[in-house]
Chain A
Amino acid sequence: MSLPHEAYAGLVSRLVALAIDIAAVAAGAAVAVGLAVGGSQMMIRETPGWVGPVVGVAIGLLPVVYFSASWWIVGQTPGGMAMGIAVRNGGGEPLGLARSILRTVFGLAFAPIWLLGMVLVLVDARRRGLIDVACGTVVVYVPQPHADDLPVSEP
């Protein structure tokens, strides 16, 4: 699929979306820890030893599930929805489950490289970062429906 250069998302939009996603994951982790520790304290007035590892695993899996499910199901993370950008494969189709997990694991495992590889967006013809080149994905702007195109609800 060949799109004009301006159809691909640039560095600023992608970084802002990533920041929103990081904040959302951090908030989710905080809620998980609060519920686990606070709930156990409230119910049995102590924190069992297994709560720590379980919560740690949950927090570790949270970003994987968050990014993978978002890219696989709707092609957008909440941050991407806020910024109007979506991840697609090379043909412009939504990502499959395997490619979503691969992109997530690659990005989280090599997070510094993910961030540094973002610089590539500035010079690539399709504004791809290093993670996009490695996983065969692109990030595009989602066309915004114009107000006049929205369906009018019946009174």
Chain B
Amino acid sequence: MSYTVWAAKLSVVVEAARVPLGLALLLAERIRADLGVRTPPPVGAVGAFAIGMGDAAVSAARRAAGAAAQRAVALGRRPASSAVWAGRIFLEQPGVARATAPVRRAGFALANRADVTVVRGRLVADAARADALAFLRAQSDSGMAWVRGEVLPTIIDDLVIDPKVRELAVEQAHGALSDAAREVRHRSAGADARLEARVHRLFGMLARHEPSP
């Protein structure tokens, strides 16, 4: 198997693994949201995941580089303390500096590689999340199309021929008509009383029968 074919197959595997990774990230975001866990925005969570992967890569690199390289990296990163400061003074002596230069270069190279790995991990996580969202949308659309085309007509047919549903619909219509009729009667009865009162006032009749309010 040539290197090109092997790389192509590996690329396919990596692409296929992005959707499950994105789904896992979305699931983690959803669970955290459901639990009410106060976390940074989703990108931050994804970044944290990518940083973890980067940290693992850095650890592996550090194990491979050996204890000397780790000490060099620590010297370059940690805040200066008096003891370290003294050590650095010693290391910066021309002779010592020349002797330890290869080790320090190797440490800086490892640190840079770790940072690149973290950034690359974040990018991969973002891309995986986007792929997962697109995958979910596509699946949702196809699922909704299937529901609209296959499931809903069957449910509607079942509802239409269900005598209980028909009875409910008839009761609803009957209730609406009853309410409308009751309102009409109420208003006409009020109009009866108002008209009678006006006629009594018009002709100066004493209100023998005061209409009820």
A65 CB, nearest partner CB in chain B, Å: 25
> Nearest residue in B to A124 (C-beta to C-beta)?
B209
**Alpha-carbon separation in the docked complex, A23 to B196 (Å):** 26
From A6, A82, A83, A144, give the contact of B193 (CB < 8 A): A6
Whether the pair A13, B189 counts as a contact (CB closer than 8 A) is yes
Asked if B71 is an interface residue, CB under 8 A from chain A, the answer is no
> Nearest residue in B to A146 (C-beta to C-beta)?
B182
Whether the pair B185, A6 counts as a contact (CB closer than 8 A) is no
Whether the pair A9, B184 counts as a contact (CB closer than 8 A) is no
From B188, B205, B212, give the contact of A123 (CB < 8 A): B205
Instruction: Say whether, besides A6-B212, A123-B205, A141-B189, A83 and B196 are in contact (CB < 8 Å).
Output: no
Residues of chain B from 54 to 90 with CB closer than 8 A to chain A in the complex: none
Asked if B143 is an interface residue, CB under 8 A from chain A, the answer is no
Interface residues of chain B, those whose CB is within 8 Å of chain A, are: 181-182, 184-185, 188-189, 191-193, 195-196, 199-200, 205, 208-209, 211-212
Whether the pair A12, B184 counts as a contact (CB closer than 8 A) is no
Whether the pair A84, B185 counts as a contact (CB closer than 8 A) is yes
B6 CB, nearest partner CB in chain A, Å: 69
B135 CB, nearest partner CB in chain A, Å: 45
Whether the pair A122, B185 counts as a contact (CB closer than 8 A) is no
**Alpha-carbon separation in the docked complex, A9 to B191 (Å):** 11
Most chain B Cβ neighbours within 10 Å, of A122, A125, A127, A141: A122
Neighbouring A residues of B193 by C-beta, 8 Å: 6, 10
Whether the pair A125, B192 counts as a contact (CB closer than 8 A) is no
Neighbouring A residues of B196 by C-beta, 8 Å: 10-11, 122, 127
Whether the pair B184, A83 counts as a contact (CB closer than 8 A) is yes
Neighbouring B residues of A11 by C-beta, 8 Å: 192, 195-196
**Alpha-carbon separation in the docked complex, A34 to B182 (Å):** 34
B189 CB, nearest partner CB in chain A, Å: 6
Most chain B Cβ neighbours within 10 Å, of A11, A12, A144: A12
10 contacts between A and B (CB under 8 A): A6-B193, A6-B209, A6-B211, A10-B195, A11-B195, A12-B192, A13-B185, A84-B181, A122-B200, A125-B208
Most chain A Cβ neighbours within 10 Å, of B181, B188, B193, B199: B188
B interface footprint on A70-102 (CB within 8 Å = 1, 0 otherwise): 000000000000111000000000000000000
B190 CB, nearest partner CB in chain A, Å: 9
B111 CB, nearest partner CB in chain A, Å: 74
**Alpha-carbon separation in the docked complex, A127 to B208 (Å):** 12
**Alpha-carbon separation in the docked complex, A5 to B181 (Å):** 23
Asked if A54 is an interface residue, CB under 8 A from chain B, the answer is no
Residues of chain A from 1 to 40 with CB closer than 8 A to chain B in the complex: 5-6, 9-13, 16
**Alpha-carbon separation in the docked complex, A11 to B190 (Å):** 11
Neighbouring A residues of B184 by C-beta, 8 Å: 82-83
From B182, B191, B200, give the contact of A12 (CB < 8 A): B191
Neighbouring A residues of B211 by C-beta, 8 Å: 6
**Alpha-carbon separation in the docked complex, A16 to B208 (Å):** 25
> Nearest residue in B to A122 (C-beta to C-beta)?
B199
Q: Knowing that A6-B193, A123-B199, A127-B196 are A-B contacts, what are 18 other residue pairs whose CB atoms are under 8 Å apart, sorted by A's residue number?
A: A5-B209, A10-B192, A11-B192, A12-B188, A12-B195, A13-B185, A13-B191, A13-B192, A16-B188, A82-B184, A83-B185, A83-B188, A84-B182, A122-B196, A123-B205, A125-B209, A141-B189, A144-B185
